Amino acid sequence: MHLGTECGDHYFDDEGGRFTRDTLCGFRLTQAAGLGEALVVAVLLQASPLPLAFPCSHRRHEAFCGSRAEGRLRAGRLRLYTAKRSLSVSLRSSANLVAPLGCLVSRQKHTLPDLPYDYGALEPHINAEIMQLHHSKHHATYVNNLNVAEEKYKEALAKGDVTAQVSLQPALKFNGGGHINHTIFWTNLSPNGGGEPKGELMEAIKRDFGSFANFKEKLTAVSVGVQGSGWGWLGYNKEQGRLQIAACANQDPLQGTTGLIPLLGIDVWEHAYYLQYKNVRPDYLKAIWNVINWENISSRYASCKK
C-alpha cells in the first residue's frame, strides 16, 4: 500500500483508499515499525474513523462523497479486504504490536541516570573531577541530543520525509549509543569492585580465554589499541554461546553494531581519563581494573543466558 495524493483534509492512495491526516500519521508510524500490511490496515481502522468508501481515487472524489449506498458497498469491500489481509495475523499478536505504536507518538524523554555512588567514590583510581564532568556534562549531552534527534525523527516520520529520517541516523546512532554505553559503564564500576569474578562468569572466562589473566590482558590490549575514541567490550555471543572481546569506535553501541550482548564496557575516550592520566591510556586501563563491578557483570551474564 502506497500513500500518494493529498486532497484537502484527506489523502488518497494508489489503491483508492482515503485517509484522514491522523490516520496517515498512524499508517506511516506503523510502516516504520516494520509491521505487516494486514496489521497496518488494522491500525488504520483503530487510529481514526475512515470514510465509508473503498476503493476510490482522487479523480473520482465527487463520486466518492456522493452516494451513501455506494459508500456502504465500498465499506463492505474495505472490511473484506481487511479480513483477507488479516488472516495470518492473530488477534493476540495484533494487540501486542498495536499497543506499542503509541510510544512512537507520545513517549517519555530519556533522562540522565543517577550514579549508584558518589563522584569521589572511585578514587584514587578515577578522581571525582573526572567522574563529575563525565557524568553531568558528557553523558548529559548525549541524553539531551538524543531527545532532540528523536523529536526531529518523530516529525519526519509523521511527514513521511524519508530524506530527513536518513539524515538523522548518525545523530541517533552517536547520541543513542553514548547514552546506552554510559548507562552500562556506570554500573560496571563500583567502589567495592576489583579482584576477579566468581561462579559461572569465571568458568566462562576460563573456558573462552584460557584464564582470567589472559582475558584481562586481551581486553586491555584491545582497549589500548582503539584508534582515537571508542570502547573496549566484553560481550556475549548468544548464537555461539560464548564470551567475546570487541572494540567499538566512537559511541557505536556494541549490540546494535556487532550483535554481541554487552557485559563489560571500558570507555577509552580521553574525557574518561585525561584529567588524571593525561594521554597515557595504559595507566588508566591498569587502574580501572581495581573498580570493575564483577557482581554487576555476572548478573548481566546470567540474564543474557536465559
- What average pLDDT does this structure show over 49-54? 37
Q: Is the pLDDT of residue 229 over 90?
A: yes
C-alpha 149/C-alpha 117 separation (Å) is: 30
Instruction: Average the pLDDT over each of 60-74, 114-128, 184-198, 232-246 and give the range with the smallest value.
Output: 60-74
pLDDT band at 264 (very low <50, low <70, confident <90, very high): very high
The residues, any chain, with a CB within 8 Å of residue 101's CB and separated by 6 or more, are 26, 29, 30, 33, 43
Question: What is the C-alpha separation between 181 and 155, in angstroms, rounded?
Answer: 26
Cell numbers 499497543 correspond to 99
Question: What's the per-residue H, E or C state across 1-66?
Answer: CCEEEEECCEEEECCCCEEEHHHHHHHHHHHHCCCCHHHHHHHHHHHCCCCCCCCCCHHHHHHHHH
Model pLDDT, residue 108 = 86
- Give the least confident one: 45-49, 103-107, 173-177: 45-49
pLDDT in tens, 29-41: 333 333 333 333 3
The vertex-298 CA angle with 294 and 302, nearest 5°, equals 175
pTM confidence score: 0.67
**Average pLDDT of the residues in 128-151:** 98
- In a 3-state reduction of DSSP, which class is residue 267? strand
Q: Are 126 and 134 in contact (CB under 8 A)?
A: no
* Mean pLDDT estimate for the chain: 78
Residue 8 CB: number of other CB atoms within 10 A? 6
Residue 175 has a pLDDT of 98
The tens digit of pLDDT for each residue in 153-172 reads 999 999 999 999 999 999 99
Asked whether the predicted pLDDT for residue 284 surpasses 60, the reply is yes
